[in-house]
């Protein structure tokens, strides 16, 4: 059990560029969540999937953000075009029955 | 939407002291999770409380859930430098409780423990 693996750990990109964040969840978990953490707003839920289907994307800031989960072992969060205000730590997490979320180590995104 | 307010926002204690962090919800609590986060790292699951009045302990950390007060508390006994970090509470946003669904998180409490 390798946990939830996110890549890259750090990403620095220029404004206007496309950014893709990746998540490989623990096998056997049906729900996957993308969170964003900033000092100002704390942890915010962006979107979550159940059985690879998006259930609630009301937290996605705007059309520049999109997320996919093509199969149970992989998910992506894409920002196109990126803006400096997107700078944050992005976490992927899974939820198992009878216990809390397991979080990945996060991707620290800096948009300059 | 549900909001979780944590208090205090930050806490500095001397090693060996006891401390309490509170988490108050704006709506009915259907369960409550506590997490710890080190800077630059992901969240580590500490405890999950599912029923009013429930109390759980792990090593020197005890958490309680008071459903009537829509509040949970996290108590650390004889704090150590290893307890330092950010503590976050999270609550399910639907009546399905802890078994399924998204969590709303508090802003976090930054704990510093001086040796």
Model pLDDT for residues B33-75, shown as the tens digit of each residue = 999 999 878 899 999 998 788 899 988 999 999 988 899 999 9
B45:A104 CB<8 A: no
Tokens of A20: 């893709």
DSSP state of A108: E
Tens of pLDDT, residue by residue over A30-56, are 789 999 999 888 999 999 998 899 988
Per DSSP bridges, beta strands A107-111 and A10-13 are parallel
B108:A100 CB<8 A: no
A100:B42 CB<8 A: no
Mutate to test the interface with B, among A9, A96, A101, A102 (most CBs of B within 10 A): A101
Q: Is the pLDDT of residue B96 over 60?
A: no
Q: How confident is the model at residue A29 (pLDDT cuts 50, 70, 90)?
A: confident
Contact B43, A103 (CB under 8 A): yes
Q: How far apart are CA A47 and CA A34, in angstroms?
A: 6
Side-by-side strand order, sheet with A65-71: A5-7, A19-24, A74-79, A65-71
């Amino acid at each position: 059990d390798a946990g939830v693996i996110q890549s890259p750990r750090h990403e620095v990109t220029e404004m206007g560029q496309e950014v893709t964040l990746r998540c490989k969840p623990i096998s056997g978990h049906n729900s996957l969540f993308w969170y964003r953490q900033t000092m100002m707003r704390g942890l915010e839920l962006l979107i979550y999937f159940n059985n690879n289907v998006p259930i609630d994307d009301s937290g996605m800031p705007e059309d520049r953000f999109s997320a996919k989960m093509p199969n149970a072992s992989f998910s992506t969060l894409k920002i196109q075009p990126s803006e400096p205000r997107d700078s944050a730590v992005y976490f992927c997490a899974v939820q198992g029955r009878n216990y809390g979320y397991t979080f990945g180590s996060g991707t620290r995104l800096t948009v300059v | 939407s549900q909001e979780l307010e944590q208090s205090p926002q930050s806490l500095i204690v001397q090693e060996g002291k006891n401390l309490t962090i509170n988490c108050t919800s704006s709506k009915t609590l259907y369960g409550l999770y506590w997490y710890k986060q080190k800077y630059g790292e992901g969240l580590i699951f500490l405890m999950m409380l599912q029923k009013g009045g429930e109390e759980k302990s792990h090593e020197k950390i005890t958490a309680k859930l008071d459903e009537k007060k829509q509040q949970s508390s996290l108590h650390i006994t004889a704090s150590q430098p290893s307890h330092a970090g950010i503590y976050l509470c999270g609550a399910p946003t639907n009546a399905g409780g802890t078994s399924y669904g998204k969590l709303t998180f508090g802003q976090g409490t930054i704990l510093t423990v001086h040796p």
